[in-house]
Structure 1
C-alpha cells in the first residue's frame, strides 16, 4: 500500500481527491493539509512518513513551491508530486527544477493520477512525454544549468544503468536487462547521484537529459 499526504486549499477538491485515493486498496491517505505550512507541521509530527506527497502550488500561508523547497531540504527522500490548475511549461519547468518528481494537472483523469503516484513511488519520478519535452527544451534554464562534470567520470556501466533509469525502468528491470544484482544496480545509482550531485532520482534524470549524457531515442 502506498501512503500519501495531500495538500490543497480547495476543500471540495481535497476531499474528492482523498476519497478517490482512499477507495482504492492500493492507496492510503495518511493526512491532508490546506497549505504548505500545515503540511510541514504535520510532517514534523509524523511517526510514519508518507511515501508520496501531492501538493497544490497556489495555497495561502505557504505555497506549494516554497513548501516543496523546504520539504526537499528537510526530507530529501520524500517523493513530491506537484499539482496545479496551470498546465504551462513555465510552471512545470520550475517545479521539476526544484525537485518535484512529477507534475499533475487538476483536470487529469483518475487513472493518470493513479499511474503517476505508482510510478513515482516505485521509480522515484515519472516524466510523461510533455515533461520530457520540457526538460529537453529548457537546457538553458537556470534551474538546469549544465555541469562541468567530465563525462569520463561516469563509467560505461554507469551510463548503461543511467540510460535505463531515464527510460523509467525499475531497479529489478535494470538488473534483469544488464544481468546484474539489484544491489549492484543500487550501488551504481548511488554513485551516479554522488558524481552528479543530484539529491534524488528525478534530479539525476533531469541532469542526464540536460547534459546529453543519455540518448532516450536508443
Structure 2
C-alpha cells in the first residue's frame, strides 16, 4: 500500500459502531484524518468541506440511507472510494450497489482481520467483498446461467482469460504477476484491457462476465 496519508469518513447512525471503527482505522499506517457522520446528509456536508479519500458507509440510516448516499458520491465525487457496511448478506442489494460502483461490501459481523484486509485492499485500488456474500452472489449467478452476447474466446486472448480467472480467485496484482512471471505493470495493462473489452466498470463486473460466459464454476471461487 502507498504510504500517502488518506482521510477516512465513517458514516453510521450508531455512535458505538463509529467509535469501534475509529479505533480500527486509526491504527492503519496510512490513516491521517478520521471524520464522522451519522447519516448521508452529514456525510455529504463533511465531504464538501474536507478532503475525503475513503468512506465506510452504513446502509440503513435515517434522512439519507447508504444506497442513496453512495449514488450521490459516485455521481459527484467518483474519486472517493466506498466500502458499504451492512447487517444484511443480500444478493439483490449487493448487485444494486455493484451497479452504483462501490469498491467494497462488508457485513457487520465480519472478522476484525477481514475488515482491516478489506480496507487495505480498497486503498490499494482493488475491491473487497465479504466472503459469505461472494459465495451467495456468485453461486446464485452460476445457477441462473446468464447468457452473454459474445463468445469470450473470440473477444479475449488466452493470456487475458488466464488473468481473468486469477482475478476471480481474488489474487492481487502483485500475486498475479508473481504467479505468471510478468511485471505488475503488465498485469495492470491486461486488467484494463479486460475492463474495456467486457464493458465492465470494475473487478466485480469482470467476475460477472466470467460467470455469464461459463469461464469458471463455483469450485474455482476461493
Above 0.5 in TM-score?
yes
Distance 1:74 1:194, change over 3 A: farther
Over residues 145-196 of structure 1, what are the superposed CA-to-partner deviations in whole Å (9 max), with x where a residue is unaligned? 7542431111111111111111111212212222222222111111111112
Alignment of 1:135-174 (within 5 A): 135-139=137-141, 146-151=147-152, 152-174=154-176
- The correspondence for 1:21, drawn from 19, 25, 31, is 25
What 5-or-longer segments of structure 1 have no aligned partner? none
User: Which residue is equivalent to 2:208?
Assistant: 206
* Residue 204 of structure 1: how far off its partner (Å): 2.4
Contact 1:35 1:59 in 2 (8 A): yes
Contact 1:175 1:182 in 2 (8 A): yes
User: Which residue is equivalent to 1:8?
Assistant: 12
* Residue 113 of structure 1: how far off its partner (Å): 1.5
Give the length in aligned residue pairs: 215
Alignment of 1:6-85 (within 5 A): 6-25=10-29, 27-47=31-51, 49-50=52-53, 52-85=54-87
Distance 1:146 1:61, change over 3 A: farther
Contact 1:8 1:59 in 2 (8 A): yes
Q: Which has the higher mean CA deviation after the structures are superposed, 4-13 or 73-82? A: 73-82
Distance 1:24 1:171, change over 3 A: closer
- The correspondence for 1:180, drawn from 179, 182, 190, is 182
The two structures, once aligned, show a CA RMSD in angstroms of 3.0
* Residue 27 of structure 1: how far off its partner (Å): 4.0
Q: Which has the higher mean CA deviation after the structures are superposed, 80-89 or 6-15? A: 80-89
TM-score, scaled to structure 1 = 0.81
Q: Which has the higher mean CA deviation after the structures are superposed, 181-190 or 113-122? A: 113-122
Question: SS at the partner of 2:127?
Answer: coil
Distance 1:215 1:199 in 2: 22
Distance 1:54 1:149, change over 3 A: farther
What 5-or-longer segments of structure 2 have no aligned partner? none
